[in-house]
Amino acid sequence: MDIQTMMASTVHDVKNSLGLIDSQLLHLVDRASELDIQVAEDIQRIQLECARINNGMVHMLGLYRMEQGQLVAGFEDVMVNDVVEDSISRHGDLLKARGIDVKIRDNTPEGLWYIDPNLVEGLLTNLITNSIRYTKASIKFLIQEQDGWLNIRMTDDGEGFPKAMLGTPHEPEALNYRTGATGLGLYFCQQIAQLHVNKDRKGYIELSNLAEKEGAVIDLWLP
Q: 146-172: per-residue pLDDT in tens?
A: 999 999 999 999 988 888 888 887 665
- Residue 169's pLDDT is 76
Claim to verify: residue 132 and residue 213 sit in the same structural domain? yes
Q: Could you tell me if 104 and 128 lie in one domain?
A: yes
Is pLDDT larger for residue 3 or for residue 54? 54
Most confident range (mean pLDDT) of 1-10, 12-21, 190-199 is 190-199
Q: Domain boundary at 38, 72, 106, which?
A: 72
Residues 127 and 30 in one domain: no
Domain boundary among 72, 89, 110: 72
The domain containing residue 3 runs over which residues?
Answer: 1-72
Q: What is the pLDDT of residues 109-150, one digit of tens each?
A: 889 999 999 899 989 998 998 898 889 999 999 999 999 999
Residue 88 has a pLDDT of 95
In order of 13, 117, 157, 204, 213, the CA distances from 123 in angstroms are: 21, 10, 20, 11, 24
Do 45 and 84 fall within a single domain? no
Q: According to the model, what pLDDT value does residue 42 have?
A: 77
Give the pLDDT score at 10. 76
**Three-point CA angle 219, 207, 171, nearest 5°:** 115
- Nearest CA to 73 out of 124, 116, 114, 113 is that of 116
- Asked whether the predicted pLDDT for residue 96 surpasses 60, the reply is yes
What is the SS3 assignment for 207? strand
Counted domains in the chain: 2
Residue 161 CA: distances (Å) to CA of 13, 75, 139: 33, 32, 15
Of residues 173 and 8, more confidently modeled: 8
Are residues 115 and 209 part of one domain?
yes
Specify whether 152 is located in the same domain as 196.
yes
pLDDT for the residue numbered 172? 57
Percent of the chain whose predicted confidence (pLDDT) is above 70: 78
What global pTM score does this model have?
0.78
pLDDT band at 205 (very low <50, low <70, confident <90, very high): very high
- Do 62 and 88 lie in one domain? The reply is no
pLDDT reported for residue 47: 75
Task: State pLDDT tens for residues 51-90.
Answer: 777 777 776 666 666 676 667 778 999 999 999 999 999 8
Query: What pLDDT score does 52 carry?
Result: 73
77 with 42, same domain? no
Predicted local distance difference test score (pLDDT) of residue 1? 57
Q: What is the structure's pLDDT at 175? A: 45
How big is the chain by its Cα radius of gyration, in Å? Answer: 18
Are residues 201 and 155 part of one domain?
yes
Q: Phi then psi for 50, rounded to 5 degrees? A: -65, -40
Domain boundary among 16, 50, 72: 72
Q: Are residues 60 and 109 in the same domain?
A: no
Residues 107 and 63 in one domain: no
What was the pLDDT predicted at 180?
45
Are 34 and 137 part of one and the same domain?
Answer: no
Residue 190 has pLDDT above 80, yes or no: yes
What does the pLDDT read at residue 70? 67
More confident residue, 21 or 123: 123
- Asked if 121 and 86 count as a contact pair (C-beta separation under 8 A), the reply is yes
